[in-house]
Amino acid sequence: MNIIIVGCGDRCVRLMEIFERHTFQKIKPNIVAVADIDPNAPGYRLARQKGLLTARDYTLLLNQSGIDLIIELTGDDDVFNDLLRRKKSSVRLISSQTVQLFWEVSYVAELHQKARQELLSARTKYKMILDELIQEEVMVINHDYTIAEINRHLLNKLGLTRDEVIGRRCFEITHHGDTPCTGDRHPCPLIKTLSTGKPNQTTHVHLDKHKRELFYSISTYPLVENGEVTGAIEIARDITRDINVQKTLMQQEKLASIGRLSAGVAHEINNPLTTILTSAMLVREELDPADPNAEELDIIANETLRCRKIVTSLLDFARQNQPRKAIANINTIITEGVLLTQKQAAFKDITVQTKLAPQIPDQMLDKGQIEQALINLILNAVEATPEDGTISISSAYVEEKSVVHIEICDTGEGIAPDHLGQIFEPFFTTKESGTGLGLSITHGIVEQHNGTIDARSSLGKGTCFHIYLPVGKGTEDEAAGPNSRGG
């Protein structure tokens, strides 16, 4: 790990001595350059004696290749902010406040160097400060749950100042509670660490303002003084993206397996269904309308048609082809989808409102697939919305994220929270006549366009589906290859 130090006072000298004196297990810190406006500063002189690169203007060092870390020791916020703006994105930056925590940990290590366990704990803290703590949300917590130290990353997230946090209990600050965290969704690893003196790890599940789950990995490491645990370092990391990636991979594997199975079953069932339907209709034509068996034959024909509809859905699900993309405008597709579903909405006196942004850029889309996805969502909204209800459809271009946002909302009964996480799974349905494949097919289409779809719902108020499709990705007539799912 190649390091530049900005600020060459006594703390710079001490840091250089620590790097020389200590043996690191997994990293090898290597100071390659120092900077200070005063060439007579003790750290500046020591660096020149060691043959290191020196500069009175730190900006001259920022373009050096192979730099991994900059340690700012001037204590000047303007210098720190200027380094933050000028440094390469791949280079990490430690502020003087973070280094101050480093001094304290190093001091603890020196005081307890006769005890092997205390020395190991100090080395662990030392490694964490250099390698991990800078990027994570970190608190130093006393035995009574009061916060002794907190890093800038967590303060920024909380929107609080250090003075507003120090001395407060951790659960008051992070969970707005009166007691330590409990329960399956918020187990407290700090309790075990304080009682056992051993590191502990758990996962917390929070909900954002849209009721979506956020996953946090919480790790605690004991602070030991004179053989007693006096507190702990707590590190929190947002692992929502990792969890979602794992879920997506598992979902894709499951969908592929179900797709292959569905295709096989559908092919085997389709032929005998055709025979049953044809025979029933032929016999029905030969019967007198007053014949009591005519009604029974009508039932057979109707139920066979319903089975064929299910088989067709199975085949649609199993044969989701890679999109054949061409230049298209989402507003045009939405307008056509509304026209194709207006009769179903009018039958229930449902008002369909559209609010389409005028400056929507063209995209590379499979018009047929996207239209199918939108029609699925609109028809679902029609089914869920009571008579005289409203369905609203809007589009917008989110320039900073380079995505087009489509929103389809209804004023129906809403989706139960327990069901919301399952609605895109194949064969999941709460409707008596539903196949549970429409939303799964829609989800697959959006994903094949490198987009995302999610649903937000409130019982008794309605449901909104949000689709985000990237702009500028894909090529014309893309993906003329094999099916995305087996069958």
pLDDT at position 416, please? 85
pLDDT digits (tens, 9 = 90+) for 239-257: 888 887 777 677 667 666 6
pLDDT at position 140, please? 85
Whether the CA torsion 479, 481, 485, 487 is positive or negative: it is positive
**Do the Cβ atoms of 298 and 284 come closer than 8 Å?**
yes
Which residues in 144-225 belong to E strands, given as ranges?
147-150, 200-207, 213-225
What CATH number corresponds to the domain at position 269?
A: 1.10.287.130
Please say which residue of 212, 238, 264 terminates a domain: 238
Which secondary structure element, helix H or strand E, spans residue 212, and what is its range? none
* Mean pLDDT to the nearest integer, 78-102: 88
Answer yes or no: do 125 and 218 share one domain.
no
Answer yes or no: do 341 and 449 share one domain.
yes
Domain residue limits at 78: 1-134
Which residues in 281-384 belong to E strands, given as ranges?
326-328, 351-356, 363-365
pLDDT at position 58, please? 92
Amino acid 7 reads: G
**Do the Cβ atoms of 126 and 118 come closer than 8 Å?**
no
- Buried-state track 161-179, b at ≥16 Cβ within 10 A, e below 16: eeeebeeebbbebbbeeee
pLDDT at position 211, please? 61
- Which has more confidence, 184 or 446? 446
pLDDT at position 44, please? 94
Is the pLDDT at 268 greater than 70? The verdict is yes
Confidence of residue 335 (pLDDT cuts 50, 70, 90): very high
Please calculate the CA angle 136-138-144 and round it to the nearest 5 degrees: 160
Confidence of residue 121 (pLDDT cuts 50, 70, 90): low
232 φ, ψ (degrees, to nearest 5): -160, 155
487 domain residue, yes or no:
no
Distance, CA of 411 to CA of 459 (rounded, Å): 10
83 domain residue, yes or no:
yes
Confidence of residue 47 (pLDDT cuts 50, 70, 90): very high
297 domain residue, yes or no:
yes
Distance, CA of 8 to CA of 74 (rounded, Å): 8
- Which has more confidence, 160 or 390? 390
Beta-carbon contacts of residue 351 (< 8 Å; ≥ 6 apart): 345, 388, 389, 390, 391
pLDDT at position 93, please? 92
Answer yes or no: do 111 and 225 share one domain.
no
Total count of domains within the chain: 4
Token output for 131: 């390698």
Please say which residue of 318, 351, 385 terminates a domain: 318
181 domain residue, yes or no:
yes
**Of the spans 123-127, 230-234, 238-242, 392-396, which averages the highest pLDDT?**
392-396
**Do the Cβ atoms of 203 and 238 come closer than 8 Å?**
no
pLDDT at position 70, please? 93
pLDDT at position 113, please? 58
Answer yes or no: do 382 and 452 share one domain.
yes
Token output for 460: 């008794």
Is the pLDDT at 389 greater than 80? The verdict is yes
- Range with the poorest average pLDDT among 18-32, 60-74, 224-238, 415-429: 415-429
Answer yes or no: do 71 and 92 share one domain.
yes
- Which has more confidence, 315 or 291? 291
pLDDT digits (tens, 9 = 90+) for 455-486: 998 888 899 999 999 997 554 444 333 333 33
What CATH number corresponds to the domain at position 356?
A: 3.30.565.10
Answer yes or no: do 331 and 341 share one domain.
yes
pLDDT digits (tens, 9 = 90+) for 127-151: 465 345 566 788 888 988 898 888 7
- Range with the poorest average pLDDT among 86-100, 306-320, 436-450: 306-320
**Of the spans 26-30, 84-88, 430-434, which averages the highest pLDDT?**
84-88
pLDDT at position 110, please? 63
475 domain residue, yes or no:
no
Confidence of residue 112 (pLDDT cuts 50, 70, 90): low
Please say which residue of 119, 134, 149 terminates a domain: 134
pLDDT at position 208, please? 62
Confidence of residue 411 (pLDDT cuts 50, 70, 90): very high
- Percentage of residues in the chain having pLDDT higher than 90: 27
286 domain residue, yes or no:
yes
478 domain residue, yes or no:
no
Answer yes or no: do 307 and 402 share one domain.
no
